[in-house]
Amino acid sequence: MKLSRLWADILIVLIYGGAQISSLIPAVIYKGQNLSASEMMMKVIPYMIGAFILASILVYFINRSITNETQLERLPKERWLYTVMWIIAGFFMALVAQALMNMINIYVLHQPAESQNTTDIMAVAKQNPLFIIIISLAGPFLEEFVFRKVIFGELYEFIRLPRWAAFLIAGTLSGLIFAAAHMDFDHTLIYLGMAFVFAGLYVATRRLIVPILAHMMMNSFVVIMQFTMGDKIEEAAKQMKSTAQIIWHLLI
């Protein structure tokens, strides 16, 4: 089956949206059973995992059926040796961007250090570790197709300006949509920073697999750190904030 890029983009976004609302299925099935929030969550997770895996498979094959690639995708791909290097570098770049944007978010914009979105996701993962499949694998896979390939890629193709200007505009708009999709508006700047890193990796290599794997590695690293050192990370963040506040008061 062959598809035009427009129809493929529409299908990819719809499939991603369908995976996101898959939790409504058990809500309907188990309605009236007076389940607690925790019990309902345990019912929801298998449906969500299945939906995200199925969505990933469908998106992969839809992408392979596209007949008219963007100009960016038609450019020569980065060689595989350098691709691997970009993936590893991208992982560290994403972590650095996240840390820098988080510092600005806390000390300049005075937003909370803790992300409610991350806290909620990790709470679910600790209840049912299988949820990590979505956090570390299926989630990043689908997000890179939707937010980098479809939204960023189409904007980057459409904007008729020098490529650096098109990158900034497309990166900003797609990054804001990426942030809004996570419903964590206090940390918009952090999502925006990560979106620029992943978009940059895509443009630099012309291979979507690069931001996909960098994103997967970053999410997996965060999960591991939260599982093994969650309490210590929270305490260190509080100490850093207190120290920064003292220095700020001394300076002014």
Q: Give me the pLDDT at residue 163, please.
A: 94
Catalytic residues: 143
- Report residue 120's pLDDT band, with 50, 70 and 90 as the boundaries: confident
130, 97: one domain? yes
Q: Give me the pLDDT at residue 232, please.
A: 57
Helix axes 209-251, 116-127, angle to 10 degrees: 120
First-to-last alpha carbon distance for the chain, in angstroms, is 65
Look at residue 15 and tell me whether its pLDDT is greater than 90: yes
6, 101: one domain? no
Q: Locate tokens 């020098």: which residue?
A: 162
- Provide the 3-class DSSP secondary structure of residue 34: coil
| Structural domain ending residue among the three candidates 68, 85, 115 | 68
34, 106: one domain? no
Domain that holds residue 7: 1-68
183, 64: one domain? no
182, 219: one domain? yes
- Provide the 3-class DSSP secondary structure of residue 228: helix
| Structural domain ending residue among the three candidates 11, 35, 68 | 68
Average pLDDT over residues 99-119: 84
Question: pTM for the whole thing?
Answer: 0.89
Q: Give me the pLDDT at residue 205, please.
A: 97
186, 138: one domain? yes
154, 215: one domain? yes
94, 219: one domain? yes
Comparing 100 with 252, the larger pLDDT belongs to 100
Instruction: Output b/e per residue, 196-232; b: 16+ Cβ within 10 A.
Output: bbbbbbbbbbbbbbbbbbbbbbbbbebbeebeeeeee
For the stretch 187-246, pLDDT in tens is 999 999 999 999 999 999 999 999 999 999 999 999 998 888 765 555 555 554 554 444
11, 95: one domain? no
Structure tokens at 132: 């990590």
DSSP 35-75: --HHHHHHHHHHHHHHHHHHHHHHHHHHHHTBSS--HHHHS
Q: Give me the pLDDT at residue 252, please.
A: 46
103, 209: one domain? yes
35, 151: one domain? no
Q: Give residues with Cβ within 8 angstroms of 67, minimum separation 6.
A: 2, 3, 4, 5
Least confident of 21-25, 130-134, 151-155: 21-25
Structure tokens at 146: 């939707």
Average pLDDT of the chain, as a whole number: 88
Q: Taking the mean position of all CA atoms in its chain, how far away is CA 244?
A: 29
Residues of the chain with pLDDT > 70, as a percent, come to 91
For the stretch 36-70, pLDDT in tens is 777 788 888 999 999 999 999 999 999 999 999 99
Q: Give me the pLDDT at residue 251, please.
A: 42
Determine the Cα–Cα distance for residues 112 and 18; give it in Å rounded to an integer.
Answer: 31
The total number of structural domains in the chain stands at: 2
DSSP 167-200: HHHHHHHHHHHHHHHTT-GGGHHHHHHHHHHHHH
